[in-house]
Structure 1
């Protein structure tokens, strides 16, 4: 439990969610409907697309992952959410830029501080919870491949077509945002994922002080495994491989729980994803049991016209129920 706090089962839980990208945003849309206070700690390693251009031209942190999370947690009209995600398709200098990214860039230019800009936009959109970058330093993500080559840049790593050995940051001693550390210290539970393993989740854990603070806390630490593999990043990875990669990077087996999908993917979706090199993440229970984790293996996906995602409401309810059970057990031992 967080120091000095023993929440009853009906009380609001303080949950820190760590990651970035589309997967995290999907989860947050469901989690914000639960009786929890959310602090999202988001990667700032993106260097591609609109985020990469703004990062280079305005000397600011990349806003894309932050924007996605703000939009997911916003309590505002659907039209405003659609506006936040709108991407220009033409216009000199505008093509490729996202409106939400430009709003964050404008607020950064006005305030002179990226964290202040994030808080200002969060206030305008009535965000439920807090959104924080893991660091306020400019971070470059690099990957060492199994053949020894080094690939530079978050956007370039999945394009290399090679198996990743490890990822690391430049600078390696990038400083964490103190508010992010405080949120971790005060949390009743810490969630990682879903999202790109090497380019959304691990960059946060590699920021100096983030993982160390996680380890100092005795609260539940839950990893929500991806439903599908990611081409160029987790090709042929099972659920066990995802967890093992996390452990190998931080040097310790730190998770208490892993959440894995067991629902079969319909053939039509298998074909669409296979065309892009993505396949279902296999829930290999025998190997997972070797890790001495609580394993939550349930059907938990939903389908759109062209894609599948975690069922945000189902996963959120499942996770919160598990957390309250763990907390109840911990309190019973005190």
Structure 2
């Protein structure tokens, strides 16, 4: 089966002119290039099918390459393929053929309709008119998913080779969370799999930057970090991974998917965050010390 992205890139790596730090920014859910064949298979209108996008997150973190760190971003949408899942996390009800035991068909994400190939978008709206074939799944997973992760691994390996340490910032957005009792809903959720994927001083620093801007920050609840965070985050081997979830209401209208006046404010804050991370001597994270500011050159 020919790739749905045969005539355009499914994702891209935007590299800095000069690599200044071992930080890698990854935006796996902000893609908004919908192949015509996929739209023909879908039962949703163009606005409804976009509800699962981390809309504009790649733009919010878009200054990273200009400041000295690479950005990997998807062009394919999350409704089409989710690279923040296991490679073969598939819902058997979605396919014409029966799925063998080699597929993970029983995960909580599959049960929720949000496997590697999602069954639904937000508000539990089914995506497809009919069933898919396994050949379709193979085209997306072997042709796009695996190359995407190979590109991400390459960036992290280059960071390790050049600096002795690597930091993955996994960039996401979330729907506005309602209040829970007396606790105000967070604006930012940082996920480090409960302290297992990222050095505490780094996560603390990122939380401080957001909190100093007047935002409410939560750690690991309700988002502790997905497949990318838990797969690549290996602090004992010098690779740290931190997931950042930004509430969409801060920068866009969640119904119309249009940016509003808060967009530039959030982008400016993230520019400062990126500059701070690039300005740190992150090699100290390989030990137990807190990250130190680089000496002025």
More helix by share: 1
- Give the TM-score of the pair, scaled to structure 1: 0.34
